[in-house]
Amino acid sequence: MSPEFDVAVVGAGIAGLTAARALGEAGKHVLVLEAGTRLGGRIWTAPGVAGGLPSELGAEFVHGNPGPTLDLAREAGVELVPVIDRHVLKDGGAFRELSDPWQSFAEVLARLQPQDADSDARAFLEQNVAEPEIREHFRQLVEGFEAAPLSEVSIRSLATDAQSLSADDSQYRVSGGYGRLVDFCAEQLVAAAVELRLQSKVTRVKWQIHGPVALSVEGTAAEVLARACVVAVPLTVLQDPEGLRFEPSVRGFQEPLAQLGVAQAARVSWQFRRDFAERAAPRHAFIHHPSAPFETFWATENDAFVQWTAWAGGPKAQALARESSEERKHLALAALASVLGLPEATVQAALVRPIQHHDFSNDPHIGGAYSFCRPGGVEAARALSAAIGGALFLAGEATDHDYPGTVAGAIASGTRAAQQALAVLDD
């Protein structure tokens, strides 16, 4: 039977959408299969109430000035709003200014020597940093920013991140939310006549070295046939033996997949009238509250409303993932009340919209936040970006060597996978 599609794209996160768009605009017949009920994957913007602020349930920040994100935002006509990178510590009942966190982060990592083995970050700290305060500060940055456990993350990958952050520590938010970029890509898919099917979970990919590819979709008897396939699913799906089966198995995937981990993060957001607790805590800063289950807080505001967000990463997020959604919301509210120095009941009563939260850790289609490198895994993304014959091409932030763990990496990987597929299809 002849393939019905030139390319099947598995996954409709920003990586899959980017790949599908490029292929569709190149004149290829493209089908996107998404297991969930929406587009965007780990990008999910909940619209605000009238006059309110949108809430990011997933990705929120643009770190540095990554070309892939800047180019897409420019094309979509979406503004990037600078974020003030100020950090304060909740110290008892007061707030204490913190010095540039990335400078101290880089200073610790400067102790890594070229001949040193790529150990995990905890082992590196135990061997090279004696000061408890510096160790604790380093832990907060790794588990808060990387959302990875110290005992699992590669010290060399952290050194690479430190170099890029010290070179450009600017940060931005997407005006109106990251979801605007997803919406723009969806509009472009329609214009390019790309077919999209939601609630279509691919369970098996049967492939031949030069194609075609046959995909089994849960609940559907007929296979989807395509000349080639771009697989743009989260790392958890690729690592789960029951998540997505390749027949035959792809031996080239096994080692690099084992060298990557999935970071865990939990976030909860609330909206209030702008004048609520206006002087209780700094609003133009990242507030660190290390003793709380959610240990980082920040606020955004407009003329009418203020939105507070609580964040936990790494082991704290792993612990929160074992709690019910309602319990996570309660713990977050208690932590925010502590930051603001107010009774929980007062904070609860002041809410102007329901609490915004999505449990990505237990989402069956996603399973976590973003990827991180385990010791020895600094080249894993590059290995996963290689084409498998003329049939299979992986996309997703975990497969991008230049911008791993970010939306920029997901966008770049989608562009790269599309180019690989086009090189085969147009040969």
Q: Which of 167, 202, 224 is the last residue of a domain?
A: 167
Residue with tokens 């990037």: 80
Q: Is the pLDDT of residue 427 over 80?
A: no
Average of pLDDT values for 310-321? 96
Range of the domain at 378: 5-42+178-261+370-425
CATH of the domain at 188: 3.50.50.60
Question: What integer pLDDT is reported at residue 165 of this predicted model?
Answer: 65
Average of pLDDT values for 364-387? 95
Q: Is the pLDDT of residue 424 over 90?
A: yes
Tell me how crowded residue 156 is: count the other CB atoms within 10 A of its CB: 21
Q: Is the pLDDT of residue 51 over 80?
A: no
- Judgement on whether residues 160 and 213 belong to the same structural domain of the protein: no
Instruction: Render 314-349 in DSSP notation, one character per residue.
Output: THHHHHHTTS-HHHHHHHHHHHHHHHHTS-HHHHHH
What does DSSP assign to residue 398?
G
pTM score, whole prediction: 0.96
Q: Total domain count for the chain?
A: 2
Please give the mean pLDDT across all residues of the chain: 93
- Judgement on whether residues 105 and 248 belong to the same structural domain of the protein: no
Terminal C-alpha separation, the chain: 22
- Confidence band, pLDDT 50/70/90 cuts, at residue 66: very high
- Judgement on whether residues 161 and 186 belong to the same structural domain of the protein: no
| Angle at alpha carbon of residue 339, lines to 333 and 344, rounded to 5° | 40
Q: Give 174-219 pLDDT, tens digit per residue.
A: 999 999 999 999 999 999 999 999 999 999 999 999 999 999 999 9
Q: Give 120-170 pLDDT, tens digit per residue.
A: 999 999 999 888 888 888 898 898 888 999 999 999 999 887 777 666 778
Whether residue 407 is contained in a domain is answered as: yes
Q: Exposed (0-12), middle (13-18) or buried (19+): which is 183, by Cβ within 10 Å? A: middle
- Judgement on whether residues 255 and 106 belong to the same structural domain of the protein: no
Q: How far apart are CA 158 and CA 283, in angstroms?
A: 29
- Judgement on whether residues 248 and 215 belong to the same structural domain of the protein: yes
- Judgement on whether residues 157 and 188 belong to the same structural domain of the protein: no
Whether residue 246 is contained in a domain is answered as: yes
Q: How far apart are CA 138 and CA 200, in angstroms?
A: 42
Q: Give 2-11 pLDDT, tens digit per residue.
A: 689 999 999 9
- Judgement on whether residues 152 and 107 belong to the same structural domain of the protein: yes
Whether residue 292 is contained in a domain is answered as: no
